[in-house]
């Protein structure tokens, strides 16, 4: 599918991105698109008019618009699980009806949102309290999509956090919960068990640990538990009263679920009004995605740039680099969103893909990353396309000079990646230091930056709840568009099953209750080591 694009990309290899700016003084505007104050600049990529048109043609040919409309209309597009994909309904605040199998889901969505708001308000105002008084701490126990979204957003929106403290426990490693519990008073703590299926071993194990911890001092621990799940029968079996169960339907995928009940901890932290603003941001991106022509459509363009870099040019990874410290968990969030969605090996019809599916996604906030892995980004032998995110303003007006430094660093990095430093310049630098001959040449070569390395920049005025909503919905739709073009199902995750099954089977083996017979030599050797060293 990418062969003609690969041919078109040949001229890219010998062309400098910088020269594209010389050829077109309007390039920055021509290769940017906006939604309100959110600006996506992809001009520092090695794309020209012809290549961009070919990518847009690919999107059109792969029927991105029809698939998008099918998703928003509630069609069963997740067909390996027989489900619609309607996380967008959760932020359809003032939109029309959305039907699944002929039934409008919006009354249910509005009803659950209203219950969440009532509960969050009651808790924040002290009307809902623990045995020891008003709730001071909330512990969200969940993993993957039931953790990463709210954990990322609570940190991102810390300046708006005026509710009780919120903690996140995800890992089955007891170190995680053991670190959180001592920070909380069980008599004034609410435990939220967040699990779409209510079967995930990590979450259920941590939930039982939290319940045991609370039972030591609280007479009715269940009264200080809430559940976020689509498995109502299982939440009741766990003993959580229906009034504190916030349900959602199977058409909300785990990694797309922070807009609904899974976002309860965020709502408690920032309040229902700010949470609404987050939803409104997501809804604004939905409207843009549905209405903007492909040529100006931010999620479509972000996706096409991603495909250009990975499937066409063959760059194996992409880095997400927020110059916004509070977006520190965004790379981890996007790892799940992108890699669980588009890390697939067969197309919708089950045939092997004969092209690459999704890339490895990774990153860290700037400027920290600069002092860690940017060396490789600038001078390593491979190319890592970089996606910068940058706020024009911080939340610390008194530290404006620090924000200015942050901004300067972000712009400097994308410029350095593109511009590089050639050998002649490096030689001049070494000559100015008094070197000559072979030593000058040797030292100069270490100081060459090849440059011509692509990046994009997503820039916004300030990280508000509304802007965060826009950013997250942008990435969701980017994943969708890439998935449609790749012809894969972005909404299942069968690849996580085998490890879960084997872990269940290994449970009694690692305790010595069952033999390791039938296991490979490595696993048997590791089990034997563990049994010798596991302690009492
Ligand atoms: O194992 C992967 C996964 O199914 C994710 O897709 C999901 O977000 C996570 O586990 C947690 O699942 P649950 O919310 O059902 O506990």
The confidence score (pLDDT) of residue 474 equals 98
Which H, E and C letters describe 53-111, residue by residue? HHHHHHHHHCCHHHHHHHHHCCCCCECCCCECCCHHHHHCCCCCCCEECCEECHHHHHH
Find out whether the beta carbon of 195 lies less than 6 Å from any atom of ligand 1.
yes
What are the counts of helices (DSSP H) followed by strands (DSSP E) for the chain?
A: 22, 15
Q: Which residues contact 466 (CB under 8 A, 6 or more apart)?
A: 277, 278, 280, 281, 284
Nearest to 286 by CA among 256, 251, 307: 256
Find out whether the beta carbon of 254 lies less than 6 Å from any atom of ligand 1.
yes
Tell me, in angstroms, the distance from the centre of ligand 1 to residue 145's CA. 6
Index of the ligand 1 atom closest to the CA of residue 340: 6
Candidates 6, 11, 433, 500; catalytic one: 500
**Residue 536 banded pLDDT, cuts 50, 70, 90:** confident
SS3 category, 484: helix
Mean pLDDT (the chain, rounded): 97
Residue 436 predicted with pLDDT over 80: yes
Of 143, 149, 192, 230, the one to substitute when testing ligand 1's pocket (max ligand atoms within 8 A of C-beta) is 143
Q: Hey, what CATH class is 2-73+277-419+454-492 in?
A: alpha beta
Find out whether the beta carbon of 144 lies less than 6 Å from any atom of ligand 1.
yes
Find out whether the beta carbon of 149 lies less than 6 Å from any atom of ligand 1.
no
Of 81, 140, 145, the one to substitute when testing ligand 1's pocket (max ligand atoms within 8 A of C-beta) is 145
Largest CA distance in the chain: 82
The confidence score (pLDDT) of residue 95 equals 84
The confidence score (pLDDT) of residue 333 equals 98
The confidence score (pLDDT) of residue 303 equals 98
pLDDT 10s digits, 473-506: 999 999 999 999 999 999 999 999 999 999 999 9
pLDDT 10s digits, 376-430: 999 999 999 999 999 999 999 999 999 999 999 999 999 999 999 999 999 999 9
The closest residue, in CA terms, to atom 16 on ligand 1 is 195
Please say if 340 is a catalytic residue: yes
In this structure, are residues 140 and 147 in contact, taking their beta carbons and an 8 Å threshold?
Answer: yes
Index of the ligand 1 atom closest to the CA of residue 200: 16
In degrees and rounded to multiples of 5, residue 165 shows phi and psi of -60, 145
Find out whether the beta carbon of 496 lies less than 6 Å from any atom of ligand 1.
yes
Tell me, in angstroms, the distance from the centre of ligand 1 to residue 337's CA. 12
Tell me, in angstroms, the distance from the centre of ligand 1 to residue 173's CA. 17
In this structure, are residues 57 and 8 in contact, taking their beta carbons and an 8 Å threshold?
Answer: no
The confidence score (pLDDT) of residue 290 equals 98
Nearest to 363 by CA among 337, 392, 402, 341: 337
pLDDT above 70 as % of the chain:
100
Helices (H), 106-145: 106-125
Tell me, in angstroms, the distance from the centre of ligand 1 to residue 93's CA. 26
Index of the ligand 1 atom closest to the CA of residue 262: 14
Q: Which pTM does this prediction carry?
A: 0.97
Mean pLDDT, residues 516-530: 96
Same fold, 2-73+277-419+454-492 and 89-270: yes
Residue 329 predicted with pLDDT over 80: yes
Candidates 249, 338, 340, 482; catalytic one: 340
User: Residue 402 pairs with which residues in a beta bridge?
Assistant: none
Q: Hey, what CATH class is 89-270 in?
A: alpha beta
Distance of CA 290 to the CA centre of its chain: 21
Q: Would you kindly state where each structural domain of the chain is located, as residue ranges?
A: 2-73+277-419+454-492, 89-270, 498-533
Residue 54 predicted with pLDDT over 80: yes
Candidates 10, 26, 371, 497; catalytic one: 371
Please say if 371 is a catalytic residue: yes
The CATH code belonging to domain 498-533 is: 1.10.1390
Find out whether the beta carbon of 205 lies less than 6 Å from any atom of ligand 1.
no
Tell me, in angstroms, the distance from the centre of ligand 1 to residue 254's CA. 6
Q: How far is residue 272's CA from residue 279's CA, in Å, rounded to a whole number?
A: 10
Residue 141 predicted with pLDDT over 90: yes
Residue 220 predicted with pLDDT over 80: yes
Q: How far is residue 317's CA from residue 297's CA, in Å, rounded to a whole number?
A: 23
pLDDT 10s digits, 5-33: 999 999 988 899 999 999 999 999 999 99
The confidence score (pLDDT) of residue 88 equals 98
**Residue 270 banded pLDDT, cuts 50, 70, 90:** very high
Find out whether the beta carbon of 228 lies less than 6 Å from any atom of ligand 1.
no
pLDDT 10s digits, 221-253: 999 999 999 999 999 999 999 999 999 999 999
């Amino acid at each position: 599918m990418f062969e003609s694009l690969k041919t078109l990309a040949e001229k890219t290899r010998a062309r400098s991105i910088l020269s594209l700016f010389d050829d077109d003084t309007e390039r920055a505007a021509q290769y940017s698109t906006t939604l309100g104050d959110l600006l996506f600049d992809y001009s520092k990529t090695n794309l020209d008019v012809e290549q961009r048109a070919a990518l847009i043609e690919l999107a059109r040919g792969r029927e991105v618009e029809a698939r998008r409309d099918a998703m928003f209309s509630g069609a069963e597009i997740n067909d390996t699980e027989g489900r619609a994909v309607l996380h967008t309904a959760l932020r359809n605040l003032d939109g029309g009806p959305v039907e699944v199998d002929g039934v409008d889901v919006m009354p249910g969505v509005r009803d659950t949102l209203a219950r969440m708001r009532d509960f969050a308000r009651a808790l924040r105002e002290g009307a809902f309290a623990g045995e020891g008084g008003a709730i001071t701490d909330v512990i969200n126990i969940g993993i993957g999509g039931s953790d990463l979204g709210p954990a990322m957003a609570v940190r991102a929106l810390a300046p708006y956090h005026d509710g009780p403290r919120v903690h996140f426990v995800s890992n089955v490693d007891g170190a995680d919960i053991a670190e959180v519990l001592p920070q909380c008073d069980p008599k004034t703590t609410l435990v939220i068990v967040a699990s779409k299926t209510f079967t995930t071993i990590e979450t259920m194990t941590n939930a039982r640990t939290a319940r045991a911890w609370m039972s030591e001092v609280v007479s009715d621990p269940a009264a200080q538990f809430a559940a976020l799940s689509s498995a109502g029968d299982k939440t009741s079996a766990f003993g959580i009263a229906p009034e504190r169960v916030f349900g959602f339907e199977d058409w909300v995928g785990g990694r797309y679920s922070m807009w609904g009940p899974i976002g309860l901890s965020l709502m408690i932290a920032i309040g229902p009004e700010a949470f609404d603003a987050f939803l409104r941001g997501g809804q604004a991106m939905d409207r843009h995605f549905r209405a903007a022509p492909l040529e100006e459509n931010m999620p479509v363009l972000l996706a096409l740039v991603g495909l250009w870099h990975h499937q066409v040019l063959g760059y194996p990874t992409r880095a997400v680099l927020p110059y916004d410290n509070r977006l520190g968990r965004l790379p981890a969030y996007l790892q799940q969103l992108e890699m669980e969605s588009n890390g697939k090996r067969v197309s919708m019809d089950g045939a092997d893909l004969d092209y690459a599916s999704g890339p490895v996604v990774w990153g860290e906030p700037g400027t920290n990353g600069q002092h860690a892995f940017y060396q490789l980004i600038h001078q390593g032998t491979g190319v890592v396309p970089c996606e910068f995110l940058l706020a024009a303003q911080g939340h610390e007006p008194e530290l404006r000079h620090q924000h200015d430094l942050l901004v300067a660093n972000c712009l400097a990095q994308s410029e350095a990646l593109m511009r590089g430093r050639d050998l002649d310049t490096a030689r001049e630098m070494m000559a100015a230091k008094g070197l000559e001959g072979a030593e000058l040449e040797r030292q100069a070569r270490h100081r060459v930056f090849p440059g011509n390395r692509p990046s994009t920049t997503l820039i916004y005025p300030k990280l508000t709840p509304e802007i965060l909503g826009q950013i997250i919905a942008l990435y969701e739709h980017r994943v969708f568009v890439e998935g449609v073009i790749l012809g894969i199902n972005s909404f299942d995750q069968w690849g996580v099953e085998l490890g879960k099954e084997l872990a269940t089977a290994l449970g009694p083996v690692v305790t010595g209750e069952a033999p390791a017979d039938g296991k490979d030599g490595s696993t048997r050797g590791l089990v034997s080591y563990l049994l010798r060293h596991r302690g009492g």
